[in-house]
Amino acid sequence: MLKIEEVKAKSILNKSKIFDYCLNPYTGCEFNCTYCYARLFMRRYSGHVEPWGEFIDVKVNAPLLLKKQLERAKRGTVWVSSVCDPYQPLEAKYKLTRQCLKELADKQTEFTSTK
């Protein structure tokens, strides 16, 4: 059973070793692909005890927090959804990815996604 929780993230624009930053509006992913690399470490990283694919933290403050962090951050490329799918079903309700992309575009910040 899917456990959905609305949370307030402390940081949404985080340093990455692959691109300059990564940005994940959700922790967890409902698609639960068997080949997903995130399933190998995200439970431990997030502190969830549920199996991968059965929890999603919805970072409801992501767009506002991103706006604030972009004002202070050095310019760089942002990797959107490194460990979740940006358009998983909950996006239809919360539209966090859509709002975050708008913030990135407003600040003319380069972004990419592997999804």
Q: Which stretch binds ligand SF4 (CB under 6 A): 10-18, 30-38, 67-75, 100-108?
A: 30-38
Q: 99 — phi, psi (to 5°)?
A: -70, -35
Which alpha helices (H) appear in 1-115, and where do they start and end? 42-46, 62-72, 91-94, 96-106
For ligand SF4, the binding residues in 73-102 under the rule CB under 6 A are 84-85
Sign, Cα dihedral of 37, 39, 40, 44 = positive
Q: Determine the size of the site formed for ligand SF4 (CB under 6 A).
A: 8
Under the binding rule (CB under 6 A), the answer on residue 31 touching ligand SF4 is yes
**Residues of the shown chain interacting with ligand SF4 in the complex, contacts defined by CB under 6 A:** 29, 31-33, 36, 38, 84-85
